[in-house]
Amino acid sequence: MSETLPIVYLARHGETAWTLSGQHTGLTDLPLTERGERNARRLEERLRGVTFAKVFTSPLQRATRTCELAGFGAVAEIDRDLLEWNYGEYEGRLTADIHRERPDWQLFRDGCPGGESPKEVGTRADRAVKRLRGVKGDVLLFSSGHFLRVFAARWLGLDAAFDGANGLAVASRLAPSSEQANFSNADIVSLIGKCLTPETGKVFLPNTKNY
């Protein structure tokens, strides 16, 4: 039997210094750059007129500041399950440097030593999905790129280790109207869209450095 689920909007935080350098930014609490703050304000225009029953944000300042500048700081609830992936020993490192040591390393398959596994991030995402499925009305989430990809996968009933190799980008809207188990490939493709990033038109695709 089908159920009507809320529309979930995913907003990735604005630019930080490590966004520019390409370093893995997990729990390091970096502020937005000046450009990141300017661009975060653009979300207010893009979301103007949309009513949300609930707004949630990661507690990290890059997410909370983006949320505030987008106009939702007064109503947003902090949710620690929306924290970015804990990269452990790979925090602050470049993917290219990690691949010199582990040429076949893949975040969504292998996780990070001293940090989180895909299963552990998926468990957090599952808790968020469970809470959101009961909301009556649209929902807006502010978080980080890699966590949002896991959240999107789990919302669609895909494994947390699904790394986008089959074409999944972070969707800006997840609005299924049927049980997750009944999704076809066509259903999943129809839900792929642009992420609500402060940078106009940016799309998050596999193996890029814009996380």
Task: Give the number of residues written for the chain.
Answer: 211
CA distance linking residue 53 with residue 35, whole number of Å: 29
Q: Residues 68, 84, 91, 116: which is the catalytic one?
A: 84
> Could you confirm whether 199 is annotated as catalytic?
no
> Could you confirm whether 13 is annotated as catalytic?
yes
Active site residues: 13, 84
